[in-house]
Structures are given as structure tokens and as C-alpha cells.
Amino acid sequence: MRAFSPVAYRVVIDGISYEDTAMLVSIGNGISYGGGMRVCPNALVDDGELDITWLHEVSKATFMRVFPTVYKGTHVNNPKVQMFRGKLITVEATGQIAYADGERLGPLPVEVKVVPGALRVLAR
């Protein structure tokens, strides 16, 4: 936790630019990852959109209070958590690394987009 500090991000969602400091910017097509963390609790894999979770700058104490709520998806009720949706997202931040499904992708910037029909999903 010592090195966990806010980062200045620029995120472009469907052509609209947002700039702010954040503890985390996460993009998901599904509800959960990382052992059941419901980071994007309203995400639907078949809605043609990606969900973006933006945790704005918070103190370490606040982060420690908010973090456990991610397992129920109720972190979205915290005023420091902002949710977006979009089809084309670009994330930029100096000196930061992008990860996908826990695997290192490489340095930012990264562009993430919806490709309709690219993946067949079977679900109940």
C-alpha cells in the first residue's frame, strides 16, 4: 500500500475526454474478475458496450474502507467511484502499465474497443 498513490489519467470515451487523478481506472466487459471482485457490477457481455470504473483520488484509509465493498459491487455507491460506458476507450497516463485479466500488456496509452460479434458467448 505504501506505493499506492493517485495517478493523473486522461481517458477518452467515445470521443469525450476526461482528465483527473485516480487510484484506479478499470475497463470491463463482464461483471467480475480477480477472484470475484465485482469491479463493473452492471456490465453485460452482450450489450455492445464496455463499462469503465474510475476510482478518484482517496486517502489510504478511505481506500481500505471502500475496497471490501467491491466483492458485492456496492463500491459504486461511494461518491469517489464514477461509472461510465462506451464503445471506444483510450486510457493515457505517464509511466503506467496496462494489464488485461491480470497479464501485463505494456505501457499506456491503450485503446480498448467493442468488436460486435467477435466472441460467441453461451450463458443461461
What pLDDT, on a 0 to 100 scale, did the predictor assign at position 122?
75
28: CB partners within 8 A, 6+ apart: 39, 40, 43, 50, 51, 52, 53
Residue 82 backbone dihedrals phi, psi, to 5 degrees: -125, 135
The pTM (predicted TM-score) of the whole model is 0.88
List pLDDT tens digits, range 39-94: 999 999 889 999 999 999 999 999 999 999 999 999 999 999 999 999 999 999 99
CATH class of this structure's domain 7-101:
mainly beta
* Residue 28 CA from chain centroid, whole number: 6
**C-alpha closest to that of 91 among 32, 4, 22:** 22
